[in-house]
Amino acid sequence: MQVPPGLPHVLHFLALLSPPVILVFIVSYFFPIPIWATILLSIASVPAYLAFHISHKYSKEKRRAAAIGAAFPPSYNGVKFGNFDLLVMFQNIYANGYLGDGLTDAHAELGGTFNLRILWDNNILTNDANVIKAVLATEFPNFIKGKHFQAFMNSVLGTGVFNTDGDMWKFHRQMTRPFFSRDRISHFDIFEKHSDDAIAKMRERLREGQAVDFQDLIWRFTLDSASEFLFGACIDHLSSNLPYPPNTPQAATNNDQETSADRFAHAFARAQDTIAKRGRMGHIWPFLEIFSNKTADDMKIVDDFLNPILQQAVENYTKDKEAGLIKENESEEVKDDETFLDHLVRTTTDSQILHDEILNILIAGRDTTAGTLTFAVYFLCMYPHILERLRKEILEAVGPSRRPDYDDIKDMKYLRAFLNEVLRLYPAVPFNVRYAINDTTMPNPDPNGKPFFIPAGTPITYSVLLMHRRTDYWGEDAHVFDPDRFLDDRLQRLIANPFIFLPFNAGPRICLGQQFAYNEMSFFLIRLLQNFSGMDSQLDIQTLPPKEWAQFPGRKGMDKFFPKSHLTAYSKDGMWVKMKEAEPAS
């Protein structure tokens, strides 16, 4: 029986609070103190001890900051005890608000970097490119995912590459890198197979006169592509029925035939949402999981699907090795016909390492790409002139039916600019975090100000989404969707400071699958616009933002969908569209 994930953390917390209580009972043993007084003193000693501990901690941090000529970033303060009102506010924003709400106003008032103390813990938030550069690159050895991050992610990500530090992270990175080191023809075979299936599925539904939830479709496409790429066994999520719009009679049949692929996909999504909620709750989440693991039921569904595949791969490798078909010095070589799992088992046969690494890469290879393609289609619906220009480039470079290859994609400048602009306004991972190992400082944008002090153990939460929309980095039109900014003179802003655009992270932990993702997204968009010449958002079906959002500046006031995020960004309740089929080539 597994120990619930919250229990060890709660016991550790109680142990930290025990010294004053123990001291009271020791004193009562030697002195005649009534039982009622002992109990009252024990209860009173805990908050007194906490107050002393917090005050002493702040005092030490201020002295350490002063010793190196630094100062804390400005503070974002609430009105309730321990800034508990801010914790409640951000939970409400997650449920009902726009991405970045609460932080946007704080940045406008306090600058690119500020300290948000929740329940007396330092939490540094930043959208400053120079601070993010330091965290991800120039001071990389001093910043880790850390034990707090790993604790709430562990029941899903385990010890995979996105949830480890130090030697274990290096091991996973080294194990994974060779498979992403070059473009392989087999990748394009996978893209073609599943994009053609997805487009056929979409065309069939559109010919019924019904709208299609493009987000649901593209999640299926990326899950099928990722599963075949990773372990050579397609989950075949595209084979199940697409959902009908919720305002149609047929919608009653949407859940009639749930397949094993549906169960896997839905369980995996729920598990990710659960661990993301833990992260937003901070130190409170363990108290909500003292007696149960909220990811357990969903991860059982995931594991029941995945573990037999992993077991079969290990058995196949063992048989081939015993038969002398595998040489010891081949472990670093990647063969054209092998899957990612085939490659991994030649590095390790540890079932837990294989399990965790596959799930980590599945999230990276599926959710991020699906989200970006969903937002890409939204922008094509909103800006027909951009769709027309992009389709023109596709038809001139590839034609109306030919399969694109790597050179085609590499040469299509507007397609790359279009994808970059999608990733700028809606990066796949809007928020991320690192923890400082040792005391350090971060650059202060005020040339006359002291550098910002970051105490050891402090998290720095950085928002690529908010950084990508800063007008001082991108110009006054930063909130306008315009792919030409990556082609005209405005590109000089990015050339002057490459760290203002980080859709794939940066530094030693930069995404290994960056080019794979560009290839997959480009391939699908080319196939899509070879088959369809126009598209429209179905706003009567789409879950729209609250009407009052229209009065706000920027994308919050512009966009006609409700953006959300757990680990990655997505559209609430899907992205409902209709598309016009292209005329056959004469």
Closest CA to 9 of 144, 147, 145: 147
Q: Which of helix, strand or coil describes residue 543?
A: coil
Burial class (CB in 10 A: 0-12, 13-18, 19+), 372: buried
What is the side-by-side strand order in the sheet with 124-126? 113-115, 124-126, 459-463, 431-436, 143-144
E strand map for 81-192: 113-115, 124-126, 143-144
Report the C-alpha dihedral over residues 495, 501, 503, 507, rounded to 10 degrees.
70
DSSP 8-class letter at 156: H
Whether 179 and 334 have beta carbons less than 8 Å apart is answered as yes
3-state SS of the chain: helix, strand, coil percent to 5?
A: 60, 10, 30
Whether 561 and 571 have beta carbons less than 8 Å apart is answered as yes
**What is the residue type of 177?**
R
Whether 220 and 234 have beta carbons less than 8 Å apart is answered as no
Instruction: Report d(CA 464, CA 343) in Å as an integer.
Output: 32
Closest CA to 219 of 364, 427, 358, 369: 369
Instruction: Report d(CA 354, CA 334) in Å as an integer.
Output: 17
Burial class (CB in 10 A: 0-12, 13-18, 19+), 45: middle
Annotated binding residues, written as ranges, equal: 511
Instruction: Report d(CA 107, CA 114) in Å as an integer.
Output: 8
Annotated binding residues for heme, written as ranges, equal: 511
Provide the sign of the torsion angle of the four alpha carbons 412, 417, 422, 428, taken in this order. Answer: positive
